[in-house]
Structure 1
Amino acid sequence: MSISINGSILEGGGQILRNSVALAALLGKPISIHKIRNGRKPPGLKNQHRTGLDLAAEIASAELTGATNGSTEIEFTPGPLKTPGDFVADSVTAGSTTLLLQIALPLLLFTYQPSTIPSRLTLKGGTNATQAPQVDYTEHVFLPFVQRHFGITADLQVKRRGYFPKGGGEVVVSVTPLAQRLKSFSLLERGNVRCIKGIAHFAKLPGHIGPSIVEGATKVLSTGLAEMSNIPIEIQSQRERNENTVGAGSGVVLWAELDGGGIIGGSAVGNKGTDASLLGEKAAQDLLRGLNAGGCVDEWLEDQIIIFMALAEGESAVLCGNAGGLQMHTRTAIWVAEKLTDAKFHTEQLESGHTVIRCKGIGYCASS
């Protein structure tokens, strides 16, 4: 009998779909999801959601029904994992490649037969858009964090950028299967800011765009970090070759590395008519908000690590900077994890206003 998931709970977006299907595939639990993206306009599956479901079904030898554009209900019955393997997913549109990675990465970490051969994942679609992590955030914030704290080894290469609305990007990710269970971690002290780094990228636009983005970001950071003037700031300007992009576009991702092992990101995506220096300023302000919040992770990293905390062995703990409680995305990720696994989450509100998330993970391995 399948487990029924209400896709309109809490945040009610595509994250419920991605996390539910990934956990169901790993645990061998048939699920049905209804009211998918019920509050969105229009509701139901979009092309990128359907592509992600098809990808997960391929990796997990699953029977998938109802996965058509506009559908508000699907059924997913997993089989054995086909890992390690070589997989390709193409959203055709500018649908986010990083959201495709979110549904696939947990599956590629595990294999029934011990192997050091990495899986290769080729993702085609959008690489830099506003409604999903930019690929540079995934490469420089998310992946380094999960490697350090969970022991995950994954290498990401941007073969071609895909800006909205044309898409056409290509990202290749190599994921090494775990030799043991995901390790737990404790990250409760942020320490000082060690350095700030960043990438300002642009394609098929005038040459001054990149340096202007860097200038705007540096100006805001220098003012906002006046009391920490000795912090090194290194932001690269990166012009993409015309043949490496389908359409014109720009964006910037910044990240602050903390002594305690945390990392805070900030980003902005360019659009027609936006001054390049203002784009840099916007990303810097985003980064400063994350730093001023006082946590060891930013709000976007916070919700992405929940599924790995649930799968890890032992108790994990992380200090989050949300004075008003956890983000809706994070609460949703926790709800899904507790619905489908035996992981136990506990949140603690500190006198400082910060929140600590603790999780007793299930110590998952494929053979179990």
Structure 2
Amino acid sequence: MLARAMTNFVIDGSVLEGGGQILRNGVSLSALLSKPITIQKIRNSRKPPGLRNQHRTGLELAARIASASLIGATNDSTEIEFVPGHINISNHYHADSVTAGSTTLLLQIALPLLLFSPKPAPPSTLTLYGGTNATMAPQIDYTKHVFLPFARRHFGIGKFSLDIKKRGYFPKGGGEVHFSVEPLSGPDQKLRNITLLERGKVKWITGIAHSGGLPHAIGQGMIAGAEKQLAIAGYGKKQVSQTSTSVQSPGDDDVTVSIQYVQEPRGLTKGPGSGIVLWAELEGGGMVGGSAVGTKNKPAEKVGQEAASQLIQGLENGGCVDEWLQDQIIILMALAEAH
């Protein structure tokens, strides 16, 4: 067990799902509250447990932003100590998971630290390298089109931009993402509280199918699979164009579905890959998403079907957000002003 001061708050990383989110939220809150923590049994429910490359890289990024002392952050470690210092706003930071480790997980741990400033300050910027579209983390398109717009709309986070310079697919990674966010400044600038209880009807469904180093037919296959699954769920007949698909739901309450295909320029990605992200906008202000990543020997149509099935299941669950968005906004809810 790591040596630690008596004032350290000890967090059991095996609580609930025992994954990486408790690690990211714990470290972010530690930095914001200036409270040293020790996290034990990290990723206790995963096989193998302990830190992977992207978790270690995320901890190192948070430590740089928060001028923190970080002990025990090595691959496979199941315990770390994080002693925060002064948070440095309006700087440029970069982090590289080296592998195909998720850039979205790096952003998750850094973002809360960059949201606040005691006085007006320029945006903070991040350059993140690694995987952009992986199976065990939100795809970068989900972060760009679901999480960040939702956080801006409901919690009032500062102006942001996210630019996907290069996609990184498993197993080679090599993706590059540029992100900037303007901090809320002054003692009265806080995240808004949120009350989202009524889902309302689906306004529209949008999506992005993407591929790199693969034939154009892969993207069209993912779109075809998604639209077929949506039609089975009752969203109506399809109308296909070269770059997108429209689906009209029968009856008075038409739901437009538009899926765009983005093909990465030849030679830009380190290795081939593909994926699709879909999201539904709800009348009550909520958002529900679904996604899937292409893998070797899996037909493109099946990838699209999986993403659509995930979206449909999320809508059928009846919530205002999907389980992944819920997971990511918990820390924003904790930081928001009280009612």
TM (norm. structure 1) is 0.83
Structure 1 window deviating more from structure 2 (219-228 vs 159-168): it is 219-228
Aligned residue runs from structure 1 range 12-23, under 5 A:
12-23=18-29
Match of 1:285 in 2: 309
Match of 2:214 in 1: 205
C-alpha displacement at 1:11, in angstroms? 1.1
Match of 1:63 in 2: 69
Identity rate, percent? 63
Long gaps (5+) in structure 1: 316-368
C-alpha displacement at 1:226, in angstroms? 3.8
| Aligned mates of 1:110, 1:50 — CA distance in 2 | 24
Residue 244 of structure 1 aligns to a residue whose secondary structure is coil
| Aligned mates of 1:39, 1:185 — CA distance in 2 | 31
1:29 matched to 2:53? The reply is no
Match of 1:54 among 60, 74, 88: 60
C-alpha displacement at 1:282, in angstroms? 0.9
Match of 2:193 in 1: 184
Aligned residue runs from structure 1 range 45-194, under 5 A:
45-115=51-121, 117-152=122-157, 153-179=159-185, 180-194=189-203
Match of 2:328 among 278, 291, 304: 304
Give the counterpart letter for 2:146 in structure 1.
V
| Aligned mates of 2:173, 2:45 — CA distance in 1 | 26
Per-residue CA shift, 1:175-219, capped at 9, x if unaligned? Answer: 110131111121111111111100000111112111111111111
| Aligned mates of 1:226, 1:297 — CA distance in 2 | 20
| Aligned mates of 2:235, 2:149 — CA distance in 1 | 27
For the 8 Å contact 1:84–1:111, the answer to whether it is kept is: no
Residue 153 of structure 2 aligns to a residue whose secondary structure is helix
Match of 1:271 in 2: 295
C-alpha displacement at 1:70, in angstroms? 1.4
Residue 16 of structure 2 aligns to a residue whose secondary structure is coil
Match of 2:269 in 1: 245
Give the counterpart letter for 1:188 in structure 2.
L
For the 8 Å contact 2:115–2:182, the answer to whether it is kept is: yes
Residue 243 of structure 1 aligns to a residue whose secondary structure is coil
Give the counterpart letter for 2:165 in structure 1.
K
For the 8 Å contact 2:163–2:177, the answer to whether it is kept is: yes
| Aligned mates of 1:292, 1:89 — CA distance in 2 | 38
Match of 1:195 in 2: 204
For the 8 Å contact 1:184–1:312, the answer to whether it is kept is: yes
Residue 137 of structure 2 aligns to a residue whose secondary structure is coil
C-alpha displacement at 1:314, in angstroms? 1.9
For the 8 Å contact 1:158–1:172, the answer to whether it is kept is: yes
| Aligned mates of 1:104, 1:243 — CA distance in 2 | 30
Give the counterpart letter for 1:125 in structure 2.
G
For the 8 Å contact 2:17–2:45, the answer to whether it is kept is: no
C-alpha displacement at 1:273, in angstroms? 0.5
Match of 1:255 in 2: 279
| Aligned mates of 2:304, 2:51 — CA distance in 1 | 33
1:224 matched to 2:233? The reply is yes
Match of 2:257 among 233, 239, 249: 233
CA RMSD between the two structures: 1.1
For the 8 Å contact 2:235–2:255, the answer to whether it is kept is: no
| Aligned mates of 2:320, 2:116 — CA distance in 1 | 27
For the 8 Å contact 1:97–1:171, the answer to whether it is kept is: yes
Per-residue CA shift, 1:252-284, capped at 9, x if unaligned? Answer: 000011111111101000000011111111111
| Aligned mates of 1:226, 1:91 — CA distance in 2 | 40
C-alpha displacement at 1:6, in angstroms? 1.1
| Aligned mates of 1:157, 1:130 — CA distance in 2 | 21
